[in-house]
Amino acid sequence: MKSTKVLDAKGLACPMPIVRTKKAMEELNSGDILEVHTTDQGSKSDLTAWAKAGGHELLKDTEEDNILKFWVKKG
């Protein structure tokens, strides 16, 4: 999947992954795709709920070697 921007939030604890994601998203245009990498297990449910609340679309998420990756399309 082609992402407009990649945000590395690995090693950050809650709430920082979402804080950084929100900030990065503000710099993108509607329809752009932000790819987020985190290591905080809690970010999965939080990112899903945050995207939903903000009108963004979580296109895909993966987990490999304890690294969570998310692709979020800006709404």
Partner 1 sequence: MAKTISTKELAQKIINHTKIIILDVRNTDEFDNWKIEGGQVEVINEPYFNLLDSVDPVANKLSKDQEIIVVCAKGGSSEMVADLLEEEGYITVYSLEGGMKAWSEHLEPIKIGDLKEGGSLYQFVRLGKGCLSYFVQSNGEAAIIDTARMTDVYEEFANEKEVRIKHLLDTHLHADHISGGRKLAEKVGGTYYLPPKDAEEVTFDFTPLQEGNDIIVGNTEVKVQPIYSPGHTIGSTSFIIDDTYLLTGDILFVRSIGRPDLAGLAEDWVGDLRETLYSRYKELSNNLIVLPAHYSFAEELGEGGEVSARLGDLYARNEGLQVEGEQEFRKMVTENLPPQPNDYQDIRRTNMGKIDPDQEKQKEMETGPNRCAVEG
Give how many residues touch partner 1 by CB under 8 A: 14
Q: Output the smallest distance, CB 15 to partner 1, in A.
A: 4
Contact status: 66 vs partner 1 (CB under 8 A): no
68 vs 75: CA distance, rounded Å: 22
The total number of residues shown for the chain amounts to: 75
Q: Does 29 bind partner 1 (CB under 8 A)?
A: no
| Interface with partner 1, residue 27, by CB under 8 A | no
CA dist list (Å): 56 to 5, 68, 74: 15, 18, 5
Hey, which residues are catalytic here?
Answer: 14
